[in-house]
């Protein structure tokens, strides 16, 4: 009898414990994702090309006459004007040559005057039949020879005078002096392997870069022709060797009409102003060429994921996620992609949390307005209802706690009764 009663009491105790420990059922959670509809948009692509910088004029200075340098009138990096003296070559032998040429001219002038007098005298005598026609023609030929001799000596004088002027080497243009490999006392000449220096016109700088054949074809197709491209292409940007961006924009002036067979590229030239003298001939950098794309399908980088070097997006098809491979071009530093293949205008894609999605996951679009909008101010009646809600919740929790305490007390009383019967 006691055993059956104990079993009944134990069953009742377990039932009370089960009732006290029962939990409220959990509501199922529904995940929402932000989605977007793919629509055409305009973007600007930026392509970088390695470039070399040259002055508008890089003039190698060679002497036109040989001799010993007696003066170097400039320093390396100095700004010079057209006609400014750069070097002076020993002038002594060239002054002597000029003096000799001048003396020869005077001697030739005297010989010509004598030949003229002789010819005039022969003419008078010939009229009087004193001399023969042969003597007259001989005098005339002597006069012509004297005239030729005078012309020759004058040419030699001009040549000697020019040679003397060539001993003063002057700058052929405005620019900046390059290196000076030769010093005073060096024997120089027109056939020397290295120039005396180089004068670079750095007021405007030429920047040369190359495109491959496919890029050139795309450029021509976009603008219609090479000439139209030169007229309509936007300004280009130059980044220097230290990765900084040059402050002044440039303009592409020419596109070579011949593709280099060895490299398969075509050369382009852009011109950049250089009023501050920051650019130097021989420098390097990168030319950034912008290309406008109209009606492109643009998506954020966060909407994509990569598997085995292939990029994908999740399209929303019939309310579930479907992975779709795409081909893209990076823009805005990789923050956005232009979709070249794989999507069409009007497709809906998931733009957040794609790394946690799986094929076939149900997609509930997130309402941006509801998520972003602030909570409106409620009327006093609503506020009272809001305040009453936590109070009701607290009352429910208090009632639940009281019920649990009552059940525990009942279980303790039953256990005590069993002990008394024993």
Give pLDDT tens digits for 139-170. 999 999 999 999 999 999 999 999 999 999 99
Contact 380, 350 (CB under 8 A): no
Reported as a single tens digit per residue, the pLDDT across 386-416 is: 343 444 344 444 444 444 454 454 445 445 5
How far apart are the two ends of the chain, measured CA to CA in Å? 12
Cβ contact 124:215 at 8 Å: no
Strands 304-307 and 284-300, sheet pairing? unpaired
| pLDDT at 331 exceeding the cut of 80 | no
Strand partners, 212: 265
pLDDT at 44: 77
Listed residue (102, 110, 101, 100) closest to 146, CA to CA: 110
pLDDT at position 133 is 92
Mean pLDDT of 46-51: 88
Average pLDDT score over residue span 305-319: 89
Average confidence score pLDDT of the chain: 81
Highest mean pLDDT among 26-35, 259-268, 379-388: 259-268
What pLDDT is stored for residue 234 in this prediction?
Answer: 87
pTM for the full model?
0.55
Return the half-sphere exposure (C-beta side, CA atoms, 13 A cut-off) of residue 380. Answer: 0
- 351 or 20, which is more confident? 351
Euclidean distance between CA atoms 45 and 397, whole angstroms: 62
147 three-state secondary structure: helix
Confidence of residue 421 (pLDDT cuts 50, 70, 90): very low
Within 13 Å of residue 369, how many CA atoms lie on the same side as its CB?
0
Task: Judge whether residue 249 has pLDDT over 70.
Answer: yes
pLDDT of residue 358: 86
Mean per-residue pLDDT for 415-419? Answer: 49
Quick one: angle between helices 2-21 and 380-421, nearest 10? 160
Q: What percent of the chain has pLDDT over 90?
A: 46
pLDDT digits (tens, 9 = 90+) for 93-121: 999 999 999 999 999 999 999 999 999 99
Burial class (CB within 10 angstroms; exposed 0-12, middle 13-18, buried 19+) of 225: exposed
For residue 208, is pLDDT > 80? yes
pLDDT higher than threshold 70 for residue 377: no
């530093």: which residue's tokens?
333
User: Poorest-confidence range of 46-60, 204-218, 244-258, 361-375?
Assistant: 361-375
- Among the ranges 27-36, 123-132, 398-407, which has the highest mean pLDDT value? 123-132
């Amino acid at each position: 009898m006691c055993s059956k009663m104990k079993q009944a009491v134990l069953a009742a105790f377990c039932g009370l414990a089960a009732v006290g420990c029962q939990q409220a059922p959990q509501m199922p959670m529904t995940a929402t994702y932000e989605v977007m509809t793919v629509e055409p948009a305009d973007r600007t692509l930026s392509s970088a090309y390695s470039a070399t910088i040259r002055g508008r004029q890089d003039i190698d200075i060679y002497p036109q006459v040989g001799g010993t340098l007696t003066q170097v009138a400039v320093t390396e990096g100095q700004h010079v004007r057209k006609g400014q003296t750069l070097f002076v070559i020993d002038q002594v032998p060239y002054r002597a040559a000029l003096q000799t040429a001048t003396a020869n001219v005077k001697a030739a002038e005297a010989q010509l005057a004598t030949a003229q007098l002789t010819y005039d005298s022969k003419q008078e005598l010939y009229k009087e039949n004193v001399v023969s026609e042969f003597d007259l023609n001989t005098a005339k030929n002597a006069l012509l020879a004297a005239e030729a001799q005078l012309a020759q000596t004058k040419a030699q004088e001009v040549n000697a005078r020019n040679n003397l002027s060539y001993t003063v080497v002057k700058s052929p243009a405005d620019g900046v002096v390059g290196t000076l490999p030769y010093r005073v006392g060096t024997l120089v000449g027109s056939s020397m392997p290295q120039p005396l220096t180089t004068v670079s016109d750095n007021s405007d700088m030429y920047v040369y870069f190359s495109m491959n054949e496919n890029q050139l074809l795309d450029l021509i197709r976009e603008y219609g022709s090479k000439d139209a491209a030169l007229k309509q292409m936007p300004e280009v940007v130059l980044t220097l060797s230290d990765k900084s961006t040059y402050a002044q924009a440039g303009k592409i002036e020419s596109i070579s009409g011949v593709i280099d067979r060895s490299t398969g590229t075509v050369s382009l030239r852009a011109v950049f102003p250089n009023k501050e003298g920051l650019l130097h001939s021989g420098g390097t950098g990168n030319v950034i060429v912008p290309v406008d794309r109209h009606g492109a399908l643009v998506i954020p980088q966060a909407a994509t994921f990569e598997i085995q070097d292939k990029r994908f997006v999740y399209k929303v098809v019939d309310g579930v996620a479907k992975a779709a491979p795409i081909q893209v071009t990076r823009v805005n530093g990789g923050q956005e992609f232009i979709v070249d293949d794989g999507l069409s205008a009007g497709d809906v894609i998931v733009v957040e949390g794609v790394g946690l999605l799986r094929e076939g996951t149900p997609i509930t679009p997130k309402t941006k307005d509801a998520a972003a909008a602030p909570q409106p101010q409620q009327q006093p009646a609503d506020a009272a209802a809001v305040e009453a809600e936590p109070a009701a919740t607290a009352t429910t929790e208090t009632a639940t706690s009281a019920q649990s305490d009552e059940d525990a007390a009942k279980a303790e009383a039953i256990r005590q009764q069993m002990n008394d019967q024993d």
